[in-house]
Chain A
Amino acid sequence: MEMSTQHTEAPYYFVPGPSRWPLLAGMSMLVVMIGASAWVNGASWGSYVNLIGLIGVLYVLYHWFGDAIKESESGLYNKRIDVSFRWSMSWFIFSEVMFFGAFFGALFYARSITMPWLADLDHKILWPDFAAHWGNIGPAGTVESFATMGPFWIPTINTALLLTSGITLTISHHAIRANHRSQAAIWLFATILLGAIFMGFQAYEYIHAYSELNLKLTSGIYGSTFFLLTGFHGFHVTMGAIMLSVVLYRILKGHFTPDHHFAFEGAAWYWHFVDVVWLGLYVVVYWL
């Protein structure tokens, strides 16, 4: 097979030599998890241990990706490896879809099956006063009353922001394909900026929810699904923004060629995925 960017020394399929990073990453994860276990149980040392572990993970990732970038830039990655990356990123995103699926499923189940159930005739034995409407405070009266979050205006603005960021990202992609590197950098920067503004609004919305709507993580199933869905989405936006920032940095360092820039594309796919999840959230969490 022919490879467009093949260097002369590129092997048929590049297999990296021994590396310390996987082991160190695994051990850092152990530290992270021990710290987390202690932390959630109120041990004062937990957060520090957790943080140390996280620093370890980041340190490892920095070097690991550094190695990969070096290999890529020295032409060890041929077309076939590029295809591998494409497959892997696609299927990774698929697994992320399934992760969100669990939470969307929980929302659907709680709302369409559990709620009417709790309010039906049989359940009058337990909960005589419970009336089914979404955004209820639960049948037991253990939840403080709260107001729900509508689509106006922050979520709608946020939708616009994310959709726009999808467009700017595509413009940036076209620019890199046309080898207009500074253009690409500018539009990519715009994308990250839009993501950051999105996160700013999201943070504002949370503050608003807590301080004015009395809508909290503890606000029954509504609060649970609201915060976990939007929270995990926000976390993914952050991850996507970090990926794009790394890509931006690499563009500025002169990495990538018009036909060899999978890191860009992978991050872009991820960003679009986060975008699509948001559209789902916008409809299911805010509108319905």
Chain B
Amino acid sequence: MFGASLLAAGMPSWAVTDSPGGPAVRQLNFQQPVTKIAEEIYSLHTMMLIICLVIFIAVFAVMFYSILKHRKSLGHKSATFHESTAVEIAWTVVPFLIVIGMALPATKTVVAMKDTSNADITIKATGMQWKWGYDYLNGEGQGINFLSNLATPREQIVDSSVAKNENYLIEVDNPVVVPVNKKIRMVLTANDVIHAWMIPAFGVKQDAIPGFVRDTWFRAEKIGTYRGQCAELCGKDHAFMPIVVNVVSEEDYKKWVDDKKKEMAANADDPTKTWTLDELIQRGEKVYSANCVACHQANGKGVPGSFPALDGGPLVLGPKAGQIDIVMHGKNAMPAWGPVLSPTEIAAVITYTRNSWSNKAAENIVQPAEIVAARK
């Protein structure tokens, strides 16, 4: 069965190619640094590796010499010495000095990594189970916000028999876009549990802690696409919330900002509009598959014991106020969607769940205006 599933995976490892801006095949060292900080980390690591190797070789050269020469089978008689204060002091002091020598250059980098002042652009990233939300808070592009999901559809992820492309875990639908050579300050927070925002090529990793903001920064020096993944265990789809940053030229960035703003304006929903049932269901299905399937599953059956079924769920079939409350404010593992989705999206997804699978709720339609009212 194991062998069969291997075949079914249909993606022999030798056919995989390097992912530029992400991991290379059989990569032995850090990814190619594209920021000053990442370079410093790279050379710190090289320094540490060399020093450690030298000590390692020195210590074990002595040990293996002894092992080879001072053996009984060669007739070696054991000596009787068993202490020497001078030697003890020497091998306490020398390593102490070595350790100080290692820590000093690192200190400079620590201080530099922490300096998030004077950023050109500030972006807030919000970790959510299991996607990232981005808000451009300051600088050019201010006001842009979007959600960034794994691009590979969930049905493909859970089904190993589907052939996928080789970057299927490190692609997103909406990448972060930033201009090259600009200091970007990332402000991290989370909605539900702790996540971590990491881009190896930038030397950046920062936990996103619910209820708190933490920051970090980078200044990418090379145009390209850089890939990272969530680096803090955040529940079942921890492995499926990648991060992609497109570093583009200044002109391209301007263009992207313009396009993105137009796109947002075009998509902006008027929360006072009244929708038809079909419209809402159609829209809701999209919202559902982007945000809800991870837990409640495409068939609405949930995961027994962990995530409640919506198909036939009492809350979904009952009065809509109860469902609106839970969707807006969350409860236990259910996140609060009020601050994440627009009123239209929430209205749509609730309407969708009330009319899907075997569900035929009595109160079968929720309008955006009701969500706006519930926000108050």
Contacts and interface: CB of A to CB of B under 8 A. Distances in A.
- Is there a direct interface between A and B, measured as CB atoms under 8 Å apart in the complex? yes
Interface of A: 117-118, 122-123, 125-126, 139-140
A125 B126 CA distance: 12
Given A122-B187, A125-B189, A126-B189, 16 more contacts: A117-B212, A118-B211, A118-B212, A122-B213, A122-B215, A123-B212, A123-B213, A125-B124, A125-B137, A125-B187, A125-B213, A126-B211, A126-B212, A126-B213, A139-B211, A140-B211
Nearest to B214: A122
Interface residues of B, number: 8
Contacts of A118: 211-212
14 contacts: A117-B212, A118-B211, A118-B212, A122-B187, A122-B213, A122-B215, A123-B212, A123-B213, A125-B124, A125-B187, A125-B189, A125-B213, A126-B189, A140-B211
A126 B190 CA distance: 10
Contacts of A122: 187, 213, 215
Residue of A123, A126, A140 ringed by the most chain B CB atoms within 10 A: A126
Contacts of B189: 125-126
Interface string B102-135: 0000000000000000000000100000000000
B328 to A, nearest CB: 13
Contacts of A123: 212-213
Contacts, number: 19
A126 B187 CA distance: 11
Interface string B170-212: 0000000000000000010100000000000000000000011
Contacts of A126: 189, 211-213
Nearest to A139: B211
Contacts of B187: 122, 125
Nearest to A127: B211
Contacts of B212: 117-118, 123, 126
Contacts of B211: 118, 126, 139-140
B187 to A, nearest CB: 7
A125 B212 CA distance: 9
Contacts of B124: 125
List the 3 closest A-B pairs by CB distance, nearest first.
A122-B213, A123-B213, A125-B213
Contacts of A125: 124, 137, 187, 189, 213
Nearest to B329: A142
Contacts of B215: 122
A43 to B, nearest CB: 13
A72 to B, nearest CB: 45
Nearest to A140: B211
Interface in B135-169: 137
Nearest to B215: A122
B208 to A, nearest CB: 12
A140 B212 CA distance: 12
A117 B187 CA distance: 15
B335 to A, nearest CB: 14
B239 to A, nearest CB: 27
B344 to A, nearest CB: 24
A123 B124 CA distance: 12
A269 B78 CA distance: 53
A41 to B, nearest CB: 11
B143 to A, nearest CB: 15
A163 B162 CA distance: 73
Residue of B137, B187, B211, B215 ringed by the most chain A CB atoms within 10 A: B211
Contacts of A117: 212
B277 to A, nearest CB: 34
Residue of A117, A122, A123 ringed by the most chain B CB atoms within 10 A: A122
A117 B137 CA distance: 20
A4 to B, nearest CB: 42
B34 to A, nearest CB: 27
B305 to A, nearest CB: 11
A140 B338 CA distance: 14
A243 to B, nearest CB: 40
A142 to B, nearest CB: 9
B318 to A, nearest CB: 21
Nearest to B187: A125
A123 B215 CA distance: 11
Interface in B293-324: none
A118 B215 CA distance: 14
A125 B187 CA distance: 10
A125 B124 CA distance: 10
A117 B212 CA distance: 8
A254 B211 CA distance: 61
A257 to B, nearest CB: 49
Interface in B211-235: 211-213, 215
Nearest to A142: B329
Contacts of A139: 211
A23 B124 CA distance: 56
Contacts of B137: 125
A238 to B, nearest CB: 33
A125 to B, nearest CB: 6
Nearest to A124: B213
A139 B213 CA distance: 13
A140 B211 CA distance: 9
Nearest to A122: B213
A43 B211 CA distance: 32
A125 B208 CA distance: 14
Nearest to A138: B211
A7 B374 CA distance: 81
A121 to B, nearest CB: 10
Residue of B137, B187, B213 ringed by the most chain A CB atoms within 10 A: B213
